[in-house]
Structure 1
Amino acid sequence: MMIAYWVIAALLAVVYLYSGGMKLLRSKEQLRPAMTWVEHTPLFLVRVIGFFEVLGALGLLLPPLTGIAPWLVMAAAIGLVAVQLGAIPLHLRRHEVNVIALNLVLLVLASVEIWLGTIWL
């Protein structure tokens, strides 16, 4: 279970650090080609989503590595599930079918990570 945890945590961390970092650091104009939904979303909200994505990624990695507050692993995974539960309806409303598959994969991986995160408790 430990290997499965780290493989999934690494995958999720790469995706969310990249995606969240882009949302935190880039302008709307820079984000628009890859994320068309930002056009109709306040920049503040885009930044908040990015912050929670980066926070979730760090929450999957740092507590097991440091041994500090291992319960944060479960909180981070639950938070990433919540991010996807918000993203899926958004993309469905916008008829962005090509993105929904990725959202579903990320949702499943974060859900599995909730269960695998119990090894740290």
Structure 2
Amino acid sequence: MNVLLWVLQGLLAAVFAMAGVMKTTQPIHKLAGTLPYAKDLAPGTVRLIGAVELAAVLGLVLPAATGVAVVLTPLAAVGLAVVMVLAGTFHVRRREYSAIGMNAVLLALAVGWPGAPSARTPSDPSESVPGRLPPPGPPPNERR
């Protein structure tokens, strides 16, 4: 189960990292060729959406990879799900039905990730990080 969750995290992170970098770095007129709605939004709005996506990428990967504040990882996934619902609504209003399919797939991935509570919040954070050694000392059930 843990491997599946890491694959989902990696897939979500890669997609949103590419989208976030594109929205935060490319000129709006160039971005409008790929994302037609970009020319109709304020440039600051497009940049904000990209920044939110990049922040979510950090929230998906870093807490689980480091074992620090692991509760942020499922919260980042829930945040991405909210972004996808808002994006889908935006595209429906603009009658951009071809974009809704990708929103639905990303929404399903984001919702599928936090849907495994036993795997996302282990009793020992080192259990959720592939290749990470357990903490020194006796096993958790023998500590006092």
TM-score band by shorter chain is: over 0.9
The CA deviation at 1:58 is 1.6
Retained in 2: the 8 A contact 1:74–1:118?
A: no
Q: Tell whether 2:80 aligns with 1:80.
A: yes
Secondary structure in 1 matching 2:114: helix
Distance 1:31 1:90 in 2: 18
Aligned residue in 2 for 1:109: 109
Retained in 2: the 8 A contact 1:84–1:106?
A: yes
Amino acid at match of 2:67: G
After TM superposition, what 4+ stretches of structure 1 lie above 6 angstroms from structure 2?
none
CA 1:71–1:118 in 2, change beyond 3 Å: closer, same or farther?
Answer: farther
RMSD (Å) for aligned C-alpha atoms: 1.2
Identical positions, percent: 35
Structure-1-length-normalised TM-score: 0.94
Please, which runs of 5 or more residues in structure 2 have no aligned partner? 122-144
CA 1:28–1:118 in 2, change beyond 3 Å: closer, same or farther?
Answer: farther
Paired residues, number? 121
Distance 2:36 2:118 in 1: 36
Higher relative contact order (CA 8 A, sep 6+): 1
Structure-2-length-normalised TM-score: 0.80
Structure exhibiting the larger radius of gyration computed from Cα positions: 2
The CA deviation at 1:118 is 5.0
Retained in 1: the 8 A contact 2:114–2:120?
A: no
Aligned residue in 1 for 2:95: 95
Retained in 2: the 8 A contact 1:73–1:117?
A: no
Retained in 2: the 8 A contact 1:85–1:107?
A: yes
Please, which runs of 5 or more residues in structure 1 have no aligned partner? none
Aligned residue in 2 for 1:19: 19
